[in-house]
Amino acid sequence: MEVDLNCDLGESFGVYQLGNDQEMMKYITSANIACGFHAGDPITMRDAVLLALANKVSIGAHPGLPDLRGFGRRNIHISPKDAYHDVVYQIGALEAFVRSEGGLLTHVKPHGALYNLCAVDMATAEAVAEAVYRVNPNLYLYGLSGSRLIEAGRKLGLKTINEVFADRAYMENGTLAPRHLEGSVISDEIASINQVLQLVLDKRVKTITGTEIPLQADSICLHGDGIKAVEMARIISTTLKDNGVLIKPFF
């Protein structure tokens, strides 16, 4: 049994620092680096790429909505045409830094509100998947497990990664519980670890209403911006290994 551990990184901007990228790199196998739309800037992007290369962590683009003020988490209307062009643009920006440092871009994972929209709206999902495919059909596409984005990627022949979350609650339809709902973000360490073990070992998850649903867990997202993010990453990594799970990237 094996699983990939991924984290959204490079999400600082200018003088504003978010997360501890250097420490998180020690516990993950794949990094999704912000591309300047919801967070990140040229220096931050290059620094994150260098950290990933130094730690032998797979590098992916993390495109989001053009929403620095809202960190890409606000529900801003975007047409499929705009989604396509914005994603192509952001992949290209990060890939330039990766290639200039002798690395290889391996995957793409949308961020925040764009990620959630792709999970349920097929037109947007198809536009984002098409953007990834047209840039490089060999890139892996991360999406919410069982979502429209996974479906759209597979239709194009992309290699897809069903992603699950250690610190987010689920609705009964498999989508993430909206952040405004109480209990949508799991802050309790034991609850988070138990959810990870259930997802990886049983391929199931308990929803916010208490029912259980099946979910494929190819990769676990570990958010890097929490107060205890590094400690949780260490505990989750250790717990998985103690339960016989091999932690490795898919690339």
Contact residues for 147 (Cβ-Cβ < 8 A; gap 6+): 118, 119, 120, 125, 174, 175
Residue in the structure block whose two tokens are 């610190």: 167
pLDDT tens digits, 170-186 = 999 999 998 889 889 99
Specify the amino acid at residue 92. G
What's the pLDDT at 251? 78
Q: In 136-175, which ranges are continuous DSSP H helix?
A: 148-156
Distance, CA of 136 to CA of 113 (rounded, Å): 24
What's the pLDDT at 83? 98
What's the pLDDT at 32? 98
What's the pLDDT at 241? 96
What's the pLDDT at 92? 98
Among residues 69, 210, 73, 203, the alpha carbon closest in space to that of 146 is found at 203
Digit-by-digit pLDDT tens for the chain (251 residues) are: 899 999 999 999 999 999 999 999 999 999 999 999 999 999 999 999 999 999 999 999 999 999 999 999 999 999 999 999 999 999 999 999 999 999 999 999 999 999 999 999 999 999 999 999 999 999 999 999 999 999 999 999 999 999 999 999 999 999 999 888 988 999 889 999 999 999 999 999 999 999 999 999 999 999 877 778 999 999 999 999 999 999 999 87
Q: What is the CATH number of domain 2-247?
A: 3.20.20.370
Among residues 59, 78, 56, the alpha carbon closest in space to that of 67 is found at 78
Contact residues for 191 (Cβ-Cβ < 8 A; gap 6+): none
What's the pLDDT at 103? 98
What's the pLDDT at 36? 97
Contact residues for 162 (Cβ-Cβ < 8 A; gap 6+): 143, 144, 145, 146, 150, 215, 216, 217, 218, 219
What's the pLDDT at 124? 98
pLDDT tens digits, 59-104 = 999 999 999 999 999 999 999 999 999 999 999 999 999 999 999 9
